Amino acid sequence: MSKRQLAMVMDLNKCIGCQTCTVACKTQWTNRNGREYMYWNNVETYPGTGYPKNWMELGGGFDAAGDLQPGVIPNLEADYGVPWDYNYESLMGGMADSNTFHPHVSPTWGPNWDEDQGAGAFPQDNYFFYLPRICNHCTNPGCLSACPRDAIFKREEDGVVLVDLDRCQGYRYCIAGCPYKKIYFNPKISKSEKCILCFPRIEQGLPPACAQQCVGRIRFVGFLDDEESQVYKLVHKYKVAIGLRSDYGTQPNVYYIPPTESPAKFDAEGKIIEGSTRLPIEELEKLFGPAVHDSIKTLKAEMKKRKETGVSELMDLLIAYQHSDMFRLDNNYYQQVAKENKRNPLAPVDTRYIAGKFTKAGGHH
């Protein structure tokens, strides 16, 4: 158990599926061979196949008794999709084998393959919403429990879940153990890699790239024990932000404000069915559990209150007037940790991610 826990809240009512977060993360962190196919952050259309394909059916997580469940390791080509490139060089250099623009492989699958498909029949009752996903930096991580090498650890300072790249030998039980399939195998270096919650940015007081670049301003970041933070208020005070698939028993630390508003259905004559909503509550229950009812109730009540009285702290929070207000990151805290550990405050607080425990320096214990 870490001393403090960083958390993120994503307001799904505001996500427009623009993939800016995906691009911000991808360009920031695809800095090593073998990471090309990995999307540490992705935004999928729900309902949909997701990324990797059918991730919700691939197992992992814990059962009610606390036993880790077996899972399936996705296949790069079939389940993630091979990252394809185009024949830019031959076209630009005028040495084209053909004069058409084409990918270097015939893609059969990729992230967002089923973008905006959703469910239902258009225009009567079709619906979908966007679901951005990153590593949940769980309090009880399935990946950590599954690792026989003790290569995954949760940082004491902030609960960020990292892979010790020196200890990792590429066994991939972590991937089977993570119910969100948010840990990836790098086949080039034969080690697991994952979202690091942009900890080198966090330690300098900057939000993760996905959160800072988000044009919909859907993401809040802060410490769960900081009662002034938005994440504390949304998760604990108002209880409107809920973990994704909490039934897996991993206690995720990325929380979601469930989508509350959806259009009404049309009947056979094209007339609105009063009181109907296209978004089935069962789907939201599947993702967020029974707590979604109270969350939606609170959100609607606060919206009403705001309309009637003009006052609602919750609505003010969710509107997020100032982008900078969405992130309460304690740069001084990290500087203090660095000082206590006699480290350079500009260097990462925990070097295990970068250097690992080398034989001579760390010993075998």
- Of the two residues 165 and 315, which places its CB atom closer to other proteins in the complex? 165
Question: 199 burial class (0-12, 13-18, 19+ CB within 10 angstroms)?
Answer: buried
* Contact (Cβ atoms closer than 8 angstroms) between residue 38 and residue 223: no
CA atoms within 13 A on the CB side of 93: 7
CB of 281 to other proteins, least distance (A): 31
Q: Say which DSSP state 42 is in.
A: E
Tokens of 131: 């679901």
CB of 30 to other proteins, least distance (A): 6
Rounded distance between C-alpha atoms, residue 320 and residue 120, angstroms: 33
Residue with tokens 């053909």: 98
**Chain positions contacting other proteins, by CB under 8 A:** 30-36, 59-60, 62, 65-77, 80, 82, 145-150, 165-167, 169-173, 175-177, 184-185, 187-191, 354-355, 357-360, 362-365
- Of the two residues 96 and 264, which places its CB atom closer to other proteins in the complex? 96
Helix (H, G, I), strand (E, B), or coil: what is residue 229? coil
Tell me how many degrees the CA angle 33-35-36 measures, rounded to the nearest 5: 95
- Of the two residues 48 and 71, which places its CB atom closer to other proteins in the complex? 71
- Of the two residues 105 and 346, which places its CB atom closer to other proteins in the complex? 105
Helix (H, G, I), strand (E, B), or coil: what is residue 21? helix
Q: Which residues does 316 contact at the CB level (< 8 Å), separation at least 6?
A: none
CB of 361 to other proteins, least distance (A): 10
CB of 349 to other proteins, least distance (A): 17
Omega within 30 of 0 (cis) for the link into 200: no
Tokens of 48: 């949909």
CB of 338 to other proteins, least distance (A): 20
CB of 64 to other proteins, least distance (A): 11
CB of 262 to other proteins, least distance (A): 36
Tokens of 245: 């698939």
- Of the two residues 36 and 283, which places its CB atom closer to other proteins in the complex? 36
CB of 187 to other proteins, least distance (A): 5
Distance, C-alpha 275 to centroid of its chain: 33
- Of the two residues 3 and 188, which places its CB atom closer to other proteins in the complex? 188
Tokens of 290: 């029974």
- Of the two residues 58 and 337, which places its CB atom closer to other proteins in the complex? 58
- Of the two residues 108 and 276, which places its CB atom closer to other proteins in the complex? 108
Omega within 30 of 0 (cis) for the link into 252: no
